Structure 1
Amino acid sequence: MVIGTEINVFRGRATGLVKKPGILVGNNQAQQLEKALKDDPMPDIALGDGKTDHNFMKLCKESYVVSAKSKVEPVNPNKLPKPVVFHDGRLVQRPTPLIALLTVLWIPIGFFLACLRLGLLLLLPMPLVYYAVWALGVRVYIKGTLLPPAKKSIGQPGVLFICSHRTLLDPVFLSIALGRPIPVVTYSVSRFSELISPFKTVRLSRDRATDASAIKRLLQEDDLVICPEGTTCREPFVLRFSALFAELSNELVPVAVANEMSMFHGTTARGWKGMDAFYFLMNPSPAYEVTILNKLPNELTCGAGKSSYEVANSIQRMIAKTLSYECTSFTRKDKYRILAGTDGLVVENPTFFPK
């Protein structure tokens, strides 16, 4: 049970006003604790600062005062009982008074800068975008072998780039690295995101036969990008890959992407996804690292008798090893059920402040 200061909500929107009995401090803390306990036994342990917490600490069997002068450091992630894989919210750093002030002051500047950066992504030829975004503070690091486009004149099929998923802009920065726009297959992204995409996007239906047919047709026309995780992950983990892609092509190129943000996360599970690109580009100096790995040898593909699951799992491990991340068995549904209580479907008419 969590007992804390409650914010008033009107028609699903937070008003910013505090509910009665007000901010929980001093006597309010003790009153709310007594009300919550009713006939339950006394709590075992109380922790407080020794200034305003005496009243509720008296209701517990043992009390410990934490001095303001105590040197307390965050727990190392390796020592947590369970690793943090999923979390939501837009802020990268804890909003201390100073950071909160700087964030508020930066938002109008950052939004203008994001619009300018996005405009360059949409309007400039892809070979020039790399230099333009660097000039505007977006750091792009490219590693690996840059593959030339497929030769359609001799019937060469397109390459299927298997990309790890960090933000909505993963295919954009892969296209910047390759110097040409690469179409991408998407699932359940906002219509606005599709509208502002600098290249062709193809929405998947999650019907296996329909999606397989669409991807095969696209590969006959051009190279293609797919993110088999189906959703983004902020922490150093790679989610489970959907295995459908391995059945559709033997021309598979794994792509490991990583990014850095100092102020805003470019992903959300409960907010409006149409703003994801803007939030990432609102960071003062965001960074993207794109590592294009060697094309998967034919003996490791389904064409050599491997199952689609074996191929998907091996590529997941390759990407995780390249990034020094860990593989997980979590899926898109796991993420959205944990964070949003849904299956992660985007509504047709999203609002700026969804419930």
Structure 2
Amino acid sequence: MSAAPIDSLQIGMHWFNERPGGLDRMFQALVDTLPAQGVNVRGMVAGSADVVKASGGRVQSFAGAQAQLGARLLASRRHSRVLRAARMPDIVATHFALYAAPTAGVFRSVPKVVHFHGPWAAESYPGGGGGLSRALRVALERFVYRGATRHIVLSRAFGRLLHETYGVSEDSIRIVPGCVDVAHFDTGLTRFEARRQLGLAADRPLIFCMRRLVSRMGLEDLIDAMAIVKALLPDVLLTIAGKGPLAAQLQARIAARGLEGNVTLAGFVPDETVPLWYRAADLSVVPTVSLEGFGLTTIESLAAGTPVLVTPVGGLPEAVAPLSQGLVLPSGGFRAIGEGMADALLGRLKLPDEHACRTYARENFDRPVVAAQVARIYREAIDVF
């Protein structure tokens, strides 16, 4: 006998199609898939008036993403009261502490679940520093997280961080991995068909990396690593997709290393063509140096049938090691990354084939699989509240 449906209110950050990011992708995935698990969804984010239509009427914008911070916070509280007046939810799920904090007290009699996508304060100041502003962000996060009945993290690594940094009880922490729409990334194309559609050479060894261009992503190490790969495979090509403040510095680094013919910054890649880029590559790589709770790009690559090498940082090993320990590099740094990529392309490192990659992604990280786990935790939170 199926469980009775429950009503959830989801407090997110942005709508994915308007401000792409890992948190926003996960938020949208749950909005789309939780109803099939008996969890009705209403949501609120900072965004345009188009969010309502784009979300099928499930999510509303409480303020523009570019509005003044004070206006956004006031609007968040005001809109939460409107939603409460329309119908009190059975559970409130928060995905972004800044927009959840103003709703304190509005849903006092309702259990809360925190989806911990990452340490907002630390990610805002990845090189340290931040002073008072960072301390205030940590305090705000701690306030929101400690008010929850259950906490969902993407990995054991982030579970430890949530406990040690924010004082959250380990008993309330549950691990649910990230999810992707596996069917979206399974193009049904061969590698060479994907290359032809993208206008890429059919016979060059191709590596793909999709990351925001910020320092914690390890892209400096990745570019330096390509010098090692080029020495063994002179026609190798790495494409780095993404936008961010380091674009000019990375381009200068490429030129300084003499890698203009081997490393390309592709900039923003539309969501509909991302599966083609993964499928076209012989290999993808995630060279993160810090603050990686899971790495959705790992699963996107596997869903496309392309193996992915990751640095042993945060939750990255947890995401791929059950498929093959060989996907986890022995260490970070340009030398380990370069040697690992070269060994993979030369066949000296055995990697899972495309069928194994897709099967692993579908069985463990497809959106319905993960949504079912989230729904169970929501029901648990309601039962123990």
TM-score between the two structures when normalised by the length of structure 2: 0.28
Which structure carries more helix by proportion?
2
User: Which structure is larger by alpha-carbon Rg, 1 or 2?
Assistant: 1
Larger RCO (CA within 8 A; separation ≥ 6): 1
TM-score by length of 1: 0.30
